[in-house]
């Protein structure tokens, strides 16, 4: 057998998707199944004996992993044939990763709005279900309020910075809450356990002693001030100031509406309304005829006035002309008298 046949094939380039920590093929590496002895540095490995790292003198020796796990010739074969490296006993002996419980940092559910004294209780009920499902450590009501206010009052990033999706959702929910407060959508249902409010009649003489009606609470506006717990107090006060109509008031309004509708569709009422409209139209036509006659009389008087004014001007002009002629004749007579003397 010639020496040229004993040469190992030229090494193939390593693909880019193979990590550098995997054992690389050596240009002088010869498989153990060949019908000739293996190289000296390969014979020192042995079968199944672990080694730490390759000597620095062997430039073409297979590289080891960065974690220092021992590899053998069998490991090299398994790496070359298998898609993924098999787990070693050292990897199996390592302790499992400890998973820490993460605290809930999500905003309140989008369906609930913390408006009024019972708003945060509904939010906490929804969040408790979510925390139990996700296995998250629950928060207290004050902690959830502070976290939501902190995310809702977060300033916008400057430059090319992107706002996190969680902060954007908190800002959108806060804006929806402010819009609901401004529009009066306070999500307050009538409590059947509450007693009905009775209207107290006040006489005309006791109007000065009557209690003054409380002004409606102004809706809160969006601001860029830092987050404080005062916002929740303002929402609670607004909820208390807005009183719902009692059932008796609603019934009276309903009866009034029904009476108005029945009166509007009554035939007698419709006939009376038509007669009133005809009477109004007749009076309007009479007034229009009187106004037209008065306007005609006014035009006649104005024409007469203009005619009299023109006659007056003509008379004045004729008198002025006659006066000038009399003056000329007087001057002529005086000149003749002076010439005869």
One pLDDT digit (tens) per residue for the chain, 341 residues: 444 445 545 555 544 444 445 455 544 544 444 444 444 444 444 444 444 444 444 444 444 555 545 456 666 666 666 555 555 666 556 665 554 444 444 444 556 667 766 778 888 888 888 888 888 888 888 888 888 888 888 887 777 778 888 888 888 888 888 887 777 665 554 444 555 555 555 554 544 454 555 555 555 554 444 444 555 555 555 555 545 555 667 778 888 888 888 777 888 888 888 999 999 999 999 999 999 999 999 999 999 999 999 999 999 999 999 999 999 999 999 988 888 77
CB 60: neighbour CB atoms within 10 A?
Answer: 13
DSSP assignment, residue 27? T
Residues 74 and 105 placed together within one structural domain of the fold: no
Task: Report pTM.
Answer: 0.26
Q: Cα(311)–Cα(147) distance, rounded to whole angstroms?
A: 98
What would the two tokens of residue 78 be? 């398994």
**Cβ-defined contacts of 209-216 (< 8 Å, 24+):** 214/241, 216/241, 216/242
Q: In this structure, is residue 279 part of a structural domain?
A: no
59 with 132, same domain? no
CA 48, distance to chain mean position in Å, is 67
Q: Do residues 89 and 130 both lie within one domain?
A: no
Verify that 76 and 151 share a domain, yes or no: no
Q: Both 62 and 139 in a single domain?
A: no
CA dihedral 112, 114, 120, 121 (to 10 degrees): -50
Domain membership flag for residue 318: yes
Q: Which pLDDT value is given to residue 300?
A: 94
3-state DSSP assignment of residue 204: helix
Q: Is residue 129 part of a domain?
A: yes
Domain boundary among 94, 120, 137: 94
Give the residue numbers spanning the domain of 231.
101-187+220-243
Task: Tell whether 138 is covered by a domain.
Answer: yes
62 occurs within a structural domain: yes
- Do 134 and 226 lie in one domain? The reply is yes
3-state secondary structure of 152: helix
Model pLDDT, residue 18: 46
Q: How far apart are CA 194 and CA 102, in angstroms?
A: 42
* Same domain (yes/no): 227, 117: yes
Q: Are 154 and 233 part of one and the same domain? A: yes
Domain count, the chain: 3
Residue 193 lies in a domain: no
- Contact between 218 and 175 under an 8 Å Cβ cutoff? The reply is no
Do both 27 and 157 map to the same domain? Answer: no
Helix or strand or coil: residue 246? coil
At residue 126, the pLDDT reads 81
Residue 250 structure tokens: 């609603």
Q: Which of 68, 94, 120 is the last residue of a domain?
A: 94
Work out the angle at residue 204's Cα, subtended by the Cα atoms of residues 200 and 210, and round it to the nearest 5 degrees.
Answer: 50
Do both 109 and 228 map to the same domain?
Answer: yes
Q: Could you write out the DSSP letters of every residue in 65-81?
A: PTT-----HHHHHHHHH
In a domain, 251, yes or no: no
């Amino acid at each position: 057998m010639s020496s040229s046949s004993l040469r190992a094939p030229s090494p193939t380039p390593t693909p880019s998707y193979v990590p550098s920590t995997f054992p690389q093929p050596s240009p002088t590496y010869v498989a153990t199944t060949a019908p000739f002895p293996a190289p000296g540095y390969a014979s020192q490995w042995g079968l199944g004996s672990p080694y730490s790292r390759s000597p620095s003198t062997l430039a073409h020796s297979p590289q080891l992993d960065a974690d220092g796990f021992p590899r053998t010739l069998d490991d090299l074969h398994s790496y070359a044939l298998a898609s993924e490296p098999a787990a070693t006993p050292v990897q199996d002996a390592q302790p499992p990763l400890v998973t820490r419980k993460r605290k809930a940092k999500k905003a309140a559910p989008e369906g609930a709005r913390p408006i009024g004294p019972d708003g945060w209780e509904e939010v906490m009920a929804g969040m408790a279900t979510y925390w139990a499902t996700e296995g998250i450590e629950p928060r207290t009501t004050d902690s959830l309020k502070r976290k939501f206010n902190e995310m809702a009052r977060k300033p916008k990033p400057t430059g090319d910075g992107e706002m996190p999706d969680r902060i954007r959702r908190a800002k959108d929910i806060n804006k929806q809450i402010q819009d609901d407060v401004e529009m009066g959508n306070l999500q307050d249902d009538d409590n059947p356990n509450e007693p009905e409010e009775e209207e107290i009649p006040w006489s005309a003489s006791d109007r000065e002693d009557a209690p003054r009606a409380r002004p409606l609470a102004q809706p809160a506006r969006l601001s860029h001030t830092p987050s404080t717990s005062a916002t929740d107090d303002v929402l609670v006060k607004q909820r208390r100031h807005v009183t719902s109509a009692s059932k008796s008031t609603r019934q009276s309004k309903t009866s009034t509406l029904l009476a108005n509708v029945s009166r509007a569709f009554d035939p007698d009422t419709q006939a009376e309304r038509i007669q009133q409209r005809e009477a109004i139209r007749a009076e309007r036509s009479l007034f229009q005829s009187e106004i037209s006659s008065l306007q005609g009389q006014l035009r006649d008087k104005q024409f007469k006035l203009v005619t009299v004014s023109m006659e007056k001007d003509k008379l004045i002009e004729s008198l002025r002309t006659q006066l000038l002629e009399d003056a000329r004749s007087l001057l002529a007579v005086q000149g003749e008298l002076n010439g005869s003397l």
